[in-house]
Structure 1
């Protein structure tokens, strides 16, 4: 590759891991690394960890040309006015961190930030099953739940940058007066953390009458393992969760009327067929003109592809830019 071609860095700031990718301006992945997020170090520690990861990639890019920019998908809202990361649910104490500006000051190159589900939706529209589709909803179902929404070919971020934060959706109207400081209403039932917590009460061991010794884990993998081993409690819990997800999706369809719903994330991998069957059944029952419902073809690289596309497309860069508002014409 000629020296003048240049390269960019894409970062996936996940719930438990950081992924760093160095890519050419043509979108070819050149170098990649992955490490655990040091969330226990708090916001300052995580930002320092990201800064160090970027520095390592920069040191390794000999002969790859000028570094054109950095794009980061974050697990929280990004203020469209300021570019600040409003929150990051996996990092205790994260509030209104101006990470983009700090990284720009360190590396003297543009830094573009967006919500991780938005980045993944952009990736799916560029390289995945949503290519060529102007109206669709990408639903990330993992440790938490969130969505990236495409309307008329462009991401819909909303006034405050919180469009698609499905975890706040309340399907139990009598509970509207309750506070949910740690998780949202929907996320209590439809997420990895939510299922892990609920599973401690229902997943049994071999004789069916005692709590599973695996039920002290913080993620939901043990529930899906129990499902595949024939545990009736696990099956009932997961099916109930997917029914509630189906109702949430049907409500989203009522508002947006998308052509396509795309699911991705760690929770999807646990029981993809059951998810599609259950959610599809509920949505078709509630919606006379239900959209197609499918799984992502990009897997855990959807967000990386979205970040790379952000580096390659000026229109995406204008949508959210760290420390400033950039009007899209």
Structure 2
């Protein structure tokens, strides 16, 4: 049987089909164009689903087990509604699950994209062998998903795992959630940019960052790697804040494995290794002893794998 995985993002919507062996048979993507509104975007998503289903790689005799959808939150997985994500403006209380069920007459499972990613790692990357796993995405924001004793932790509203909103510095940067010093505000791609932009206002010594008209976390990390003292100071502060967040996560959930994903992770070992080393120094020895850190094995397709994993997890 096949299962359909749908990864909805602020920039792209992606659709993939997976077989029983967890192999990605075919995938396609289109721009989300969220500003056009949910109704228009969902119509285009259905056209993309149909295109993938009709592709030559798909065996038309195979049945479809279900559809899994990973989406930015907030959302309600029980109602199957997307509820006003910041990067999907105008997507207010959209009953996406019912919409897709009515169209395709298949079971549909809608969950936060980070929770779905954690399931993708659990089912496809580690074949259920790692029973206690935390997935952390460090990108524009910071999110997470938690597998505890082989089960996805959801919480009362399906919002468990919001690790980006652990407060680590009460006097820190203002977060989009309204609090100060959240891990996301301190150590996400956006946080790196904001910290750098503010610090540059009062920095009167040479730094290669002053030569950039447009800055991003990638350029700032690269400048630090090149030895720019200003950029190194910023990144070292970010690494410490991320390490503090990881320590809190490790102490709260006692995982066997912490898996990293997201755009900032593309900066490589020079960024994440110091974070891991600092975190290990602060985690209780009994918890740190068997704790393993890694970057996702599923690469850029993790969102699709995670969405497909929803089908197997919630139907088996």
Greater Cα offset, 244-253 or 227-236: 227-236
Match of 1:267 in 2: 264
Q: Are residues 1:222 and 2:222 paired?
A: no
Evaluate the alpha carbon distance shift between residue 46 and residue 227 of structure 1 in structure 2; reply closer, same or farther with a 3 A threshold.
Answer: farther
Q: Are residues 1:31 and 2:26 paired?
A: yes
Match of 1:64 in 2: 60
- Root mean square deviation of aligned Cα: 2.9
Q: Offset at 1:208?
A: 2.2
- Residue 37 of structure 2: SS of its match in structure 1? helix
TM-score, normalised to structure 1, is: 0.82
For the Cα contact (< 8 Å) 1:137–1:149, is it kept in 2? yes
CA deviation profile, 1:71-92 (whole Å, cap 9, x unmatched): 1111114324312123423112
TM-score, normalised to structure 2, is: 0.85
For the Cα contact (< 8 Å) 1:243–1:279, is it kept in 2? no
For the Cα contact (< 8 Å) 1:226–1:234, is it kept in 2? yes
For the Cα contact (< 8 Å) 2:66–2:108, is it kept in 1? yes
Q: How many residues align?
A: 308
Q: Are residues 1:46 and 2:44 paired?
A: no
CA deviation profile, 1:278-327 (whole Å, cap 9, x unmatched): 2332342242332222222222222322222333x2x4247xxxxxxxxx
Match of 1:139 in 2: 136
Match of 1:148 in 2: 145
- State how far apart, in whole Å, the 2-side matches of 1:316 and 1:295 are: 25
- State how far apart, in whole Å, the 1-side matches of 2:157 and 2:94 are: 15
Match of 2:206 in 1: 208
- State how far apart, in whole Å, the 1-side matches of 2:26 and 2:64 are: 14
Match of 2:299 in 1: 299
Which consecutive unaligned segments of at least 5 residues does structure 2 have?
Answer: none
Q: Offset at 1:126?
A: 1.9
Which consecutive unaligned segments of at least 5 residues does structure 1 have?
Answer: 1-5, 319-329
- Residue 208 of structure 1: SS of its match in structure 2? coil
- Residue 212 of structure 2: SS of its match in structure 1? helix
